[in-house]
Amino acid sequence: MYLIHARLRAKGEVSLPERFEEEICRQEVEPASIEHVVLHDDLPGIPVLGLFVAARNLVEAERAAETACLRVLMPEGLAASWELVTCEAAFVAEFYKRLLAGPQCP
C-alpha cells in the first residue's frame, strides 16, 4: 500500500464537485487499485488528494494514481475545471528524521 499525493489547481473560480473522491476510487487502474481517497483542502485553491493505492511497487502506484486523477479531470470528466499539478509519493519528513538520528539509547 502506498500513499500518493495528487495536487490540483483550479482553472478558474470553481469548487471541487461533490463525489469527487468517490469518482477517483471507482477508476479501474489494474494491476493496482485505488483503495481510499482523502481530500485535504488546507491551502486555498490548491487541494491535495491523498490516494491509498495497493500496488506491487511505487512506480505502479504513482502511475495508477495519476491515471485515475487524469480520467476524472478530462474535459468530459466530473472535474474538468481542474488540472493535475503533481502526483507522487508522499514524503513524510518525520520518518526520515528518525532514521537519520539513529537508534535511541537510554
CATH number of the domain at 57, please.
Answer: 3.30.70.1130
Which pLDDT does position 66 carry in this prediction? 97
pLDDT score, position 105: 54
Cell of 81: 475545471
From residue 55, alpha-carbon distances to 3, 32, 51, 73, 97 in Å are 11, 5, 12, 22, 26
pLDDT for residue 70: 94
- The answer to whether residue 106 is domain-embedded is no
Residue 14 in any domain: the answer is yes
Each residue of 53-94: pLDDT tens digit? 999 999 999 999 999 999 999 888 778 889 999 999 987 778
Confidence band (pLDDT; 50, 70, 90) for 9?
very high
Number of domains into which the chain is organized: 1
Q: Which domain holds residue 35?
A: 2-101
Above 70 in pLDDT, residue 51? yes
CA dist., res. 33 & res. 36, Å (int): 9
Give the lowest-confidence range in 24-28, 45-49, 55-59. Answer: 45-49
Q: Is residue 97 part of a domain?
A: yes
